[in-house]
Amino acid sequence: MKIRLYTIFTIFFVLYLSIVLCTKFSWTGYWTDVIFSIILVIFALWFISQNDLRKSNLLKRINQVCIIIVLGIIGMNIINPLAWDNFKLRSFYFQRVKGRVFNAYFRPVGSYGRGYGWFYICETPKYFPIIEWEVYRDGAVNHDFRDNTFDGQPIDNYEMVRSYIEEEVIKKHQDNSL
């Protein structure tokens, strides 16, 4: 029974890493992928430490490789000083536009980038809102979503996100389908 559970977990871990690293699909929310990956690493370490699973060396090796991949990516982001901007990430959850659900993310950059930061929009299925896929990305957006004012006038960042969704995602998708 334990070998079967261990096999299912290993297959799930490999599929999860493949999907998150090789496609534009992820769990809803930026940090959800990181937290879920750390939880999988903890379970994999627990499975590897079990003594009654000695005959499953292949499964142990596969889990060790997955652990190294996750911890390596997290380690590279901790070591890289430019990756610390991820802690400044802003998100606007569940913007409903024309019956579709979107999440928008803004990550400010310092003086080493153009514009105010990275801006990307992900779409979420209406009836399965725990996954999302990226539909728009701008590496040098010209609006600072950290500010709530522009020239002393209050601005609504949610409306800015809504306009980006309408112009850059929905309108371009309609134009491409014609």
Q: Which of 4-13, 112-121, 148-157 has the highest mean pLDDT?
A: 4-13
**DSSP H or E stretch at residue 13:** helix 2-22
Instruction: Name the band, by pLDDT with cuts 50, 70 and 90, for residue 34.
Output: confident
Give residue limits of the domains in the chain. Answer: 2-79, 85-177
Instruction: Give the pLDDT of residue 13.
Output: 93
Query: pTM of this prediction?
Result: 0.67
**Residue indicated by tokens 């957006």:** 141
Checking if the pLDDT of 155 tops 80, the result is yes
Q: How confident is the model at residue 177 (pLDDT cuts 50, 70, 90)?
A: low
Q: Which of 154, 149, 119, 114 is nearest to 134 (CA)?
A: 119
Contact criterion met (CB below 8 Å) for 40 and 70: yes
Q: What are the pLDDT digits (tens) for 78-104?
A: 777 666 555 556 666 667 888 888 888
Which residue, 103, 77, 88, is CA-closest to 158? Answer: 103
Cα–Cα distance for residue pair 142/27, rounded to 1 Å: 27
Measured CA to CA, the distance from residue 156 to residue 147 in angstroms comes to: 10
pLDDT in tens, 48-85: 887 665 667 888 899 999 999 999 988 887 777 666 55
- Residue 55 pLDDT: 63
pLDDT for the residue 11: 93
